[in-house]
């Protein structure tokens, strides 16, 4: 028999209720994430463009907030869909759980975006590796402060499952990479860290043996295939926020021009069906969309961005996976029809024209230098970690993991200040505040 909803409200460490508190378990999860230091530090972490470049574009914090709002919109859409059964709707996450997962999904990402993630993974070669989504589990369950050291925010079982985008361990995915001729030290596999195996085992305990056996399956590229419906909703919200809002930032900052867009369209072999999208609610064909996105009027651009978000949110559909028994795994969500092609197109466009641009790559290289230099020096002499930060680390962990946790929690600005203090002559005093 499948485990009921109440099992997923459980926490690893028992808590006595506070007097007069009427919130449910997921309301608590949401509050703990929003009030955590790790969430606040996202305001100083790179999303795509560096945090110090201006005050318009998204940081990890504003991205996560927007992701939560989009997640709520997805919930409302599915609840209003008459083709979705009440049995499925009964297993949809609450609004509080949806927001908690969206706000928490990037808590483990280090400074300098994916560049920092790749550098930390290389630094941790032979010591368990590093992956931002896997680090999120460490932040939620071990590193963040709430009631007592070492238990993190003590999240519910279901919040852990909602952020478990890649339910396969680093070692399993690294072995799959090796079989494909890839090196997990050069590019972190999508996974959870082996150090979090006990947390994952606990989170998955209510599922049947067959469900637990099927869940870690990998696709031909070594990437985990499956996740819970909560996590799939969060991932759809993340894809929308990433693909659309990062595009808006890049256009507004002048990093993408109309001719860049046209060149990408001309070179793409799998363009979405823009005419079909227009009929399904976008309201704009390809040329009209480009006209609006690259208009000198910020109002027209905002309306085009809103139209893109709307067509994506309103075309998420519920799918069934018969290989699973439990409703949280048996049902998932995905983009339908040409909208799926639109998401793929937008993400590829932002990646190729912004993330891989020369200017952004230069800043990524700086991030590589800062992170690797700090890691090497602090592993060599961990007494240089400030006492207040050492108190937040787990003393039983190897020094490499402690330093990794310390650096992963830094904002871009903190990392750069510490780097200058340690390596730049003439910079820094004994009383500087980091």
What CA–CA distance (Å, rounded) separates 85 from 253? 44
Query: Has residue 272 been placed in a domain?
Result: no
What pLDDT score does 247 carry? 84
Query: Has residue 393 been placed in a domain?
Result: yes
What CA–CA distance (Å, rounded) separates 320 from 273? 25
pLDDT tens string, the chain, 434 residues long: the values are 688 999 999 999 999 888 899 999 999 999 999 999 999 999 998 766 555 555 556 788 999 999 999 999 999 999 999 999 999 999 999 999 999 999 999 999 999 888 899 999 999 999 999 999 999 999 999 999 998 889 999 999 999 999 999 999 999 999 999 999 999 988 899 999 999 999 999 999 999 999 999 999 999 999 999 999 999 999 999 999 988 888 888 888 788 888 888 888 888 777 788 888 888 888 888 889 889 989 888 899 899 899 999 999 999 999 999 999 999 999 999 998 889 988 888 888 887 777 667 777 777 788 899 999 999 999 999 999 998 888 889 999 999 999 999 999 999 999 999 999 999 988 776 666 66
Query: Has residue 131 been placed in a domain?
Result: yes
Ramachandran class of 328: left when φ > 0, alpha when ψ lies in -120 to 50, beta otherwise: alpha
What CA–CA distance (Å, rounded) separates 159 from 26? 8
Cβ atoms of 11 and 157 closer than 8 Å: yes
What CA–CA distance (Å, rounded) separates 276 from 270? 14
What pLDDT score does 427 carry? 79
298-313 vs 60-79: helix axis angle to the nearest 10?
50
What pLDDT score does 296 carry? 87
Give ∠ CA 27-231-403 in degrees, rounded to 5.
85
Query: Has residue 323 been placed in a domain?
Result: no
What pLDDT score does 431 carry? 64
What pLDDT score does 434 carry? 62
399-408 vs 113-123: helix axis angle to the nearest 10?
170
What pLDDT score does 51 carry? 53
Cβ atoms of 192 and 169 closer than 8 Å: yes
What CA–CA distance (Å, rounded) separates 420 from 422? 5
Query: Has residue 209 been placed in a domain?
Result: yes
Could you tell me whether strands 316-320 and 331-335 are parallel, antiparallel, or unpaired per DSSP bridges?
A: antiparallel
Query: Has residue 421 been placed in a domain?
Result: yes
CA distance to 78, 246, 249, per residue, from 306 (Å): 19, 13, 14
**pTM for the full predicted model:** 0.93
Q: Which two tokens stand for residue 384?
A: 């240089």
What pLDDT score does 266 carry? 81
Query: Has residue 122 been placed in a domain?
Result: yes
Provide the residue range defining the domain that includes 365. Answer: 108-143+166-226+357-425+430-434
**Per the structure, how many domains does the chain have?**
1
Query: Has residue 418 been placed in a domain?
Result: yes
């Amino acid at each position: 028999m499948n485990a009921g909803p109440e099992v997923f409200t459980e926490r690893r460490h028992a808590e006595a209720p506070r007097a007069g508190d009427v919130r449910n378990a997921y309301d608590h999860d949401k509050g703990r994430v929003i009030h955590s230091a790790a969430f606040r530090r996202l305001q100083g972490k790179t999303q795509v463009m560096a945090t110090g470049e201006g005050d318009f574009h998204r940081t990890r914090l504003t991205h996560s907030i927007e992701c939560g709002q989009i997640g709520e919109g997805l919930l409302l859409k599915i609840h209003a869909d008459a083709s979705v059964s009440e049995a499925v709707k009964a297993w949809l996450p609450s609004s509080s759980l949806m927001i908690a997962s969206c706000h928490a999904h990037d808590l483990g990402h280090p400074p300098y975006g994916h560049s920092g993630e790749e550098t930390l993974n290389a630094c941790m070669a032979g010591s368990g590796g590093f992956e931002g989504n896997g680090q999120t589990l460490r932040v939620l369950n071990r590193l963040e402060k709430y009631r007592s050291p070492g238990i993190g925010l003590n999240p519910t079982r279901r919040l852990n499952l909602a952020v478990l985008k890649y339910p396969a361990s680093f070692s399993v995915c690294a072995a799959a990479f090796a079989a494909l001729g890839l090196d997990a030290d050069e590019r972190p596999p999508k996974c959870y860290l082996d150090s979090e195996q006990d947390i994952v085992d606990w989170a998955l305990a209510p599922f049947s043996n067959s469900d637990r056996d099927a869940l870690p399956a990998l696709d031909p590229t070594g990437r985990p295939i499956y996740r819970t419906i909560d996590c799939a909703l969060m991932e759809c919200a993340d894809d929308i926020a990433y693909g659309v809002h990062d595009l808006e930032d890049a256009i507004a900052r002048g990093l993408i021009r109309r001719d860049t867009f046209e060149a990408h369209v001309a070179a793409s072999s799998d363009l979405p069906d823009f005419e079909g999208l227009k009929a399904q609610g976008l309201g704009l064909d390809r040329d009209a969309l480009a006209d609006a996105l690259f208009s000198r009027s910020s109002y027209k651009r905002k309306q085009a961005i809103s139209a893109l978000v709307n067509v994506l949110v309103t075309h998420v559909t519920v799918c069934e996976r018969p290989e699973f028994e439990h409703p949280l795994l048996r049902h998932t969500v995905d983009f339908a029809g040409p909208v799926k092609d639109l998401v793929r197109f937008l993400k590829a466009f932002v990646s190729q024209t912004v993330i891989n641009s020369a200017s952004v790559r230069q800043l990524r290289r700086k991030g590589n230098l800062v992170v690797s230099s700090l890691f090497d020096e602090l592993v060599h002499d961990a007494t240089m970690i400030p006492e207040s930060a050492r108190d937040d680390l787990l003393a039983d962990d190897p020094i490499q993991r402690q330093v990794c946790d310390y650096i992963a929690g830094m904002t871009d600005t903190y990392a750069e200040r510490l780097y200058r203090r340690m390596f730049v002559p003439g910079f820094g005093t004994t009383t500087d505040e980091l």
